[in-house]
Amino acid sequence: MKRKTPIIAAALIVRDEARCIRRCLESVAPWVDRMVVLDTGSKDETMAIARDAGAEVSSLAWPDDFSRARNHVLALADADWHLVIDADEWILSGGALLREWCDGPARLGQLCIHSDSEKAGSPTRSWITRLLPGHVRYQGRVHEQVVSPLPRSPLDVHLGHDGYMAAQLDRKHGRNHTLLMRDLEDGPGDPYILYQLGKDAEMRGDSAAACECYSQALKRTLPTARWRHELVVLAINALSKAGRREAALALAEAEFEAWPESPDFFFVLGDMLLDQAIAEPARAVDHWLPLATGAWERCLVIGERPDLEGSVAGRGSHLAQHNLDVIRSQLALLAA
């Protein structure tokens, strides 16, 4: 008997996404059998655009809980496999691989999300579980997580994401912070929530809160946690930018042996050492700047590592080279 071809459905929860939902759906449509959109209170043309793009559209009053909304749209889709995607994302490459993956055994597919932001300067890359067998569901009010004992494996499918651009972040800040605090009340000391609260605090410009959240998260995060790489890098950078350079240097020394092949680690280490040079000019030329250039040179030796959670494109190549060129030109002027 011929094996049944699995049905793949894209599942989206949306609200006021007229700006970008057509881009998302048109990028997805060639690779899935159905597109199911759950609107949670749009006041713009989101629903009409989604229908025109070929999606099945339903509505639900916003439940103040991302997992409840995600699980609702997954139940509506009721497919063999679900591609979970947001309206401010779109498939950059690898869409043809979805069908082959879904013809295989049950497991969870991690896709690479390339998030643009003015803060990072280059896209940040995160591997997030987004391709799910039909029965798998979420938990957590915000930055919701997939709950399943199935193995997770990276799939070479890449999504663009522009939701972290300044124009899009304004409407998210207050909402996400409130939901994260409610999740923290339910799970005091949860390292993943503390890590997300640190990122939220940085977005709100609260450097003291960011440093504290990252510190508490680091104490509780296992070395094997997939987000620890980004947590360490963010914490070093946040401490340095907050003027807590001794604490940043201590953290970098403690984590040094764990990240010998991370250009992101050495990139922020170089930035921290540059900050130290600016703060202590008497030792800049003979001590801090050579250490900083050594860190950025190490980035180039390692090269790009898009497989590392939270890696920033260019830190293993042109961004590190740019920093080296600037420092070397300034040192040459001083020597002239």
pLDDT at residue number 176: 84
Phi-psi region of 218 (alpha: psi -120 to 50; beta: other; left: phi over 0): alpha
Please state, in angstroms and rounded to a whole number, the distance separating the CA atoms of residues 295 and 292.
5
pLDDT tens per residue across span 143-179: 999 999 999 999 999 999 998 876 666 666 667 889 9
Task: Fill in the DSSP letter of residue 165.
Answer: S
Q: What's the mean per-residue pLDDT of the chain? A: 94
**pLDDT score of 1 more than 60:** no
Please state, in angstroms and rounded to a whole number, the distance separating the CA atoms of residues 65 and 169.
18
Cβ within 8 Å of residue 256, ≥6 positions away: none
pLDDT at residue number 335: 73
pLDDT at residue number 3: 62
Average pLDDT in the 110-114 region?
97
Task: Fill in the DSSP letter of residue 290.
Answer: H
What is the phi/psi pair of residue 51, to 5°? -65, -45
CB 81 within 8 A of CB 107: no
Q: How many CB atoms lie within 10 A of CB 330?
A: 12
Average pLDDT in the 101-124 region?
90
Q: Are strands 8-14 and 34-39 parallel, antiparallel or unpaired?
A: parallel
Between 123 and 3, residue with greater pLDDT: 123
Residue 123 CA: distances (Å) to CA of 115, 234, 270, 312, 319: 5, 15, 19, 6, 12
Cα of 103 vs its chain's centroid, Å: 28
Strand stretches in 73-168, DSSP E: 81-84, 89-93, 108-115, 124-133, 137-139, 145-147, 152-161
pLDDT tens per residue across span 31-84: 999 999 999 999 999 999 999 999 999 999 999 999 999 999 999 999 999 999
Sign of dihedral through CA atoms 224, 133, 114, 205? negative
pLDDT at residue number 242: 95
Cβ within 8 Å of residue 328, ≥6 positions away: 293
Please state, in angstroms and rounded to a whole number, the distance separating the CA atoms of residues 13 and 37.
6
pLDDT tens per residue across span 82-93: 999 999 999 999
pLDDT tens per residue across span 268-304: 999 999 999 999 999 999 999 999 999 999 999 999 9
Average pLDDT in the 192-221 region?
95
Triad 186, 89, 62: Cα angle to 5°: 45
pLDDT at residue number 333: 81
pLDDT at residue number 228: 97
Residue 197 in 3-state DSSP? helix
pLDDT tier for residue 4 given thresholds of 50, 70 and 90:
confident
